[in-house]
Each structure stands twice: as C-alpha cells, then as structure tokens.
Amino acid sequence: MGILNRFIRLCKADIHGIIDQIEDKELLLKQHLREMEHAVVKKETELQNLITFKEQSQKEYQKCKKEIDRIEKEISFSIEKEKDDISRVLIGKLNSLGLHKSNLENHLELLEQKIKKLSECACQQRKKFDELKIKASHYSRDIQCKKWEKNIDDINLRYFRDQFCKEEVELELLKRKAIFKGEII
C-alpha cells in the first residue's frame, strides 16, 4: 500500500507541476482582479440598495407620524363633539399606526446598523482591491521588463556568438594558410 500511495502522490505532483508551467501567472492575476472587482462592485451595489431602502422607510415613517398627528387631532375633535363611536375607531387606527411606527423605528435602526457594517466592509474591500491592483500593475510591469531584458540578452548573445564564430573562422583560416605555406605554428 505504501508504494501505491507514493506513486499516486508522485503522479499528482507531476500533474500539478505541468499545470503550473502551463498557467500564465499574469493572466490568472488579471482574472482574480476582475473577480475581486466584481465582488467589490456587488457589495457597493448592495450598500446602495440598502441606503435607498432606508430612505424609502424613512419616508414611510414620516407619513406614519403625520397620519398619527392627524388622527390625534381627529380624536380630540370627536371627543369634543362627544362622538364616542368615531373616537373608538380612531383610537383603534391610532394603536395600529403606533405599532407600525414602532416597527418602522426598529426597522430603521436595523437598517442603519447593516448600512454601517456593509459600508465599512465595502470600504475595506475597495481599499484592498485598489492596493492589490497597484501591486498587480507593478508585478505586470516587472514581468514585461524581465521579458524585454531577456530578449535584449538573447539578441546580444546571438550577436556576440556570431561575432565569436566569425573570429574563430578567421583564426582557423590564418592557421591553415600558415600550414599551407609550411610555416610553423
């Protein structure tokens, strides 16, 4: 069993090594940056949606408060006019609206907490993304510089190799001429 496990591990290592050689690190980095940017934009969109929802809830809360104030005035007026039946109906509405107002207050508090947390998270993600984007830009530039340096080195190497070969040929020609003339080298 030990040999079989070692053989399987060796095969996996070879496959991983081949894949590592095939993968273009720069392309993978760009893809990861795109995915990260998508996640940041998604988080920022979610934050914007929460803010919009909060604004709508605040408008609803203000309407509810105005309605409560209106009903309070109507209750006072109906009591003044001794219209108990109308007063009872209005008090029922007032209790219902009071509960709705209380629920809206709780809802707004929860939204505010969610917005605060999501805002901090989105801000941190955006900051981290911007930092990584700059680092990736430097990394890509360094890779390009290394490729250019390698190309320049290859060109220089071929040039000197060609020069060296021409000089070698010239030296060999001189030796052969000397041998042909019978000169001692």
Q: Does 86 or 106 have the greater pLDDT score?
A: 106
Six-digit token string for 133? 């984007």
Is it the case that residue 2 has pLDDT exceeding 70?
A: yes
Helix (H), strand (E), coil (C) string for 55-102: HHHHHHHHHHHHHHHHHHHHHHHHHHCCCHHHHHHHHHHHHHHHHHHH
Report the distance separating Cα 177 and Cα 105, nearest Å.
Answer: 106
pLDDT in tens, 90-111: 899 999 999 999 999 999 999 9
Six-digit token string for 89? 């109906």
pLDDT in tens, 117-168: 999 999 999 999 999 888 888 888 887 777 777 766 666 555 555 555 677 7
Report the distance separating Cα 42 and Cα 46, nearest Å.
Answer: 6
Per-residue pLDDT band for 172 (boundaries 50, 70, 90) equals confident
In this prediction, residue 179 carries a pLDDT of 82
The answer to whether 90 touches 74, Cβ cutoff 8 Å, is yes
- pLDDT, mean of residues 43-48: 95
In this prediction, residue 14 carries a pLDDT of 62
Report the distance separating Cα 41 and Cα 35, nearest Å.
Answer: 10
Domain residue extents for the chain = 36-181
Place of tokens 């609206």: 97
Is it the case that residue 66 has pLDDT exceeding 80?
A: yes
Is it the case that residue 44 has pLDDT exceeding 90?
A: yes
